[in-house]
């Protein structure tokens, strides 16, 4: 099955990948990684936009998904998740489900605990500031930690692969033309911003590059993750 499928074409490219964070160093490193990857993989055509700011300063006129690197209990109580909660809180007086009710539904679906790296699509009301400003009614929630805490232990290879896989899982699920990514686990998690910037941009470029079939893409992925790509020659 692998031999027969790996020559198939890849999925369509997103219209816009927006990298949004208040951390100026992270935004600068994103820009450097985008430039580096454009040299390593020329003509990839990926529509990146780096935005050092808040959701309030952003406007989009086509459907958008936000990626949340939250915790296993979807508390949305710190960092970027607070901004997501405020953005997608249902308007006062609306009869549509509240933000809390939408999030509770996702938590119930996972029986009260969302394992790290488990992906949940959470859909919200259109009666929100997020819909009016960004046409956003969907959050892809992928916990990067069980509870808010410092998780970095110095194992660069592990965390490089960890962040890469989160990006890949998220991009596999995006159904909208636009997606917004914040820094992943760079706040409470304490992951080095240079490691996160490299892993995020590498994951995005290798996922979205339109010049490869699936076998070629797999070889690039395994090489980046320091795995043996000869497996795909079997």
The closest alpha carbon to 46, from 219, 212, 206, 175, belongs to 206
pLDDT by residue (tens digit) across 84-143? 999 999 999 999 999 999 999 999 999 999 999 999 999 999 999 999 999 999 999 999
- Separation of CA 213 from chain center: 23
HSE (side-chain half, CA atoms, 13 Å) at 54: 8
Q: What is the pTM of this model?
A: 0.92
User: What are the tokens at 60?
Assistant: 């989009």
- Separation of CA 147 from chain center: 19
Q: Are strands 178-181 and 136-141 parallel, antiparallel or unpaired?
A: unpaired
Round to whole Å and give the CA distance between 226 and 220.
10
Contact criterion met (CB below 8 Å) for 180 and 68:
no
For residue 67, give the 3-state DSSP assignment: strand
Domain that holds residue 166: 2-7+14-233
pLDDT by residue (tens digit) across 76-89? 988 899 999 999 99
Residue 150, pLDDT > 60, answer yes
pLDDT by residue (tens digit) across 30-58? 999 999 999 998 867 789 999 999 999 99
pLDDT at residue 42, rounded to an integer: 82
Residue 3, pLDDT > 60, answer no
pLDDT at residue 2, rounded to an integer: 47
φ and ψ at residue 123, rounded to 5 degrees:
-100, 135
Round to whole Å and give the CA distance between 27 and 50.
6
pLDDT at residue 1, rounded to an integer: 42
Number of domains in the chain: 1
CATH number at residue 34: 3.40.220.10
Residue whose pair of structure tokens reads 């993750």 in the numeric block: 225
pLDDT by residue (tens digit) across 19-37? 999 999 999 999 999 999 9
pLDDT by residue (tens digit) across 101-112? 999 999 999 999
- Quickly state the pLDDT bin for 10 (edges 50, 70, 90): low
């Amino acid at each position: 099955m692998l031999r027969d499928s790996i020559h198939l074409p890849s999925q369509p490219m997103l219209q816009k990948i927006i990298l949004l964070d208040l951390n100026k160093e992270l935004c600068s490193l994103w820009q450097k990684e985008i430039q580096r990857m454009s040299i390593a993989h020329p003509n990839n055509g990926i529509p990146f936009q780096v935005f050092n700011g808040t959701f309030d300063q952003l406007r989009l006129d086509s459907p958008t998904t936000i990626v949340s690197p939250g915790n296993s209990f979807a508390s949305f109580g710190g960092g970027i998740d607070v901004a997501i909660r405020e953005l997608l809180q249902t308007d006062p007086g609306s009869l549509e489900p509240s933000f809390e009710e939408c999030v509770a539904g996702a938590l119930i679906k996972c029986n009260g605990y969302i394992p790290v790296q488990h992906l949940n699509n959470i859909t919200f009301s259109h009666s929100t500031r997020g819909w009016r400003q960004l046409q956003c009614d969907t959050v892809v929630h992928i916990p990067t930690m069980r509870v808010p805490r410092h998780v970095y232990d110095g194992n660069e290879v592990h965390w490089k692969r960890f962040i890469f896989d989160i990006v890949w899982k998220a991009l596999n699920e995006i159904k909208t033309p636009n997606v917004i990514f914040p820094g992943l686990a760079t706040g409470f998690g304490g992951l080095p911003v240079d490691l996160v910037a490299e892993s995020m941009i590498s994951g995005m470029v290798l996922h979205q590059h339109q010049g490869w079939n699936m076998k070629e893409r797999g070889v690039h992925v395994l090489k980046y993750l320091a795995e043996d790509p000869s497996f795909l020659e079997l």
